[in-house]
Chains A and B, each alone.
Chain A
């Protein structure tokens, strides 16, 4: 820790009492350390500037409102504010992926092509074909309910009306259809994933 002629605590006190030059001294004294810390986390000059600015806005407001009570620990306190703002920045980034043009960036790393490639399309077709064959093996009443629900997207109420059984029976048949399908899949070690 450097031995400054005027301690941080004294400068903070002077600033709270209205000496604006004290803030200038504090910023000059610690700007490199705080900025480097922020940059070491975000690796972006513009973001570092923003976070540095927000950090000191917080510092200024806290001091002027008389809420500061950590005398003698000015730098660790400012570093903690900066650290929290860096975390906030990354949280925001997670919610909204950002486009950064740093020369090495490829837009395709964040935007993926929703279409399947040829290989995946073939696998998907095979999986669907296998599944259709398995469904054919189910008892007629279960097959009927499953096809109506999954392929025709009908509600259980509609299935119940169409087949003339109660909703509970239709639900039960769907349940057994799925249980039976799982049993056959497990028994024959069928892989139904793309």
Chain B
């Protein structure tokens, strides 16, 4: 029964509030893959995998 009433406190939850490693890795890979090409006055984005 106890588990029905138990709820971890907000403080406990907040301590481990970080994005997953997958999300961070995705962002770092996205950053590496994204390149901006300057052509005259224009900028083009290209995602290179």
A182 contact set on B, CB distance < 8 A: none
List which B1-49 residues lie within 8 A (CB) of chain A.
14, 17-20, 23-24, 26-28, 30-32, 34-36, 43, 45
- Verify B17–A64 contact, CB threshold 8 A: no
- Verify B36–A65 contact, CB threshold 8 A: yes
CB distance from A14 to the nearest CB of B (A): 13
| Closest partner residue, chain A, to B36 (CB atom) | A64
List which A63-103 residues lie within 8 A (CB) of chain B.
64-66
A39 within 8 A of B: yes
- Verify B28–A61 contact, CB threshold 8 A: no
A48 vs B35: C-alpha distance in the bound complex, in angstroms?
A: 27
A35 within 8 A of B: yes
Cβ-defined partner of B17 (8 Å) among A32, A56, A61: A32
Cβ-defined partner of B28 (8 Å) among A27, A32, A48, A65: A27
A61 vs B36: C-alpha distance in the bound complex, in angstroms?
A: 9
A20 vs B30: C-alpha distance in the bound complex, in angstroms?
A: 11
| Closest partner residue, chain B, to A21 (CB atom) | B28
- Verify A36–B19 contact, CB threshold 8 A: no
A146 within 8 A of B: no
A39 vs B14: C-alpha distance in the bound complex, in angstroms?
A: 9
- Verify B24–A31 contact, CB threshold 8 A: yes
A65 vs B26: C-alpha distance in the bound complex, in angstroms?
A: 19
Q: Mark A15-53, 1 if CB is under 8 A from B, else 0.
A: 000001001100110011001100110000000110011
A60 within 8 A of B: yes
CB distance from A82 to the nearest CB of B (A): 12
| Chain B interfacial positions (CB closer than 8 Å to A) | 14, 17-20, 23-24, 26-28, 30-32, 34-36, 43, 45
Could you name 5 residue pairs across A and B whose Cβ atoms are closer than 8 Å? A23-B28, A52-B19, A53-B19, A64-B31, A64-B45
| Chain A interfacial positions (CB closer than 8 Å to B) | 20, 23-24, 27-28, 31-32, 35-36, 39-40, 48-49, 52-53, 56-57, 60-61, 64-66
A-B contact sample (7 more), CB < 8 A, given A32-B17, A52-B19, A53-B19: A20-B28, A23-B27, A23-B31, A31-B19, A35-B19, A64-B35, A65-B36
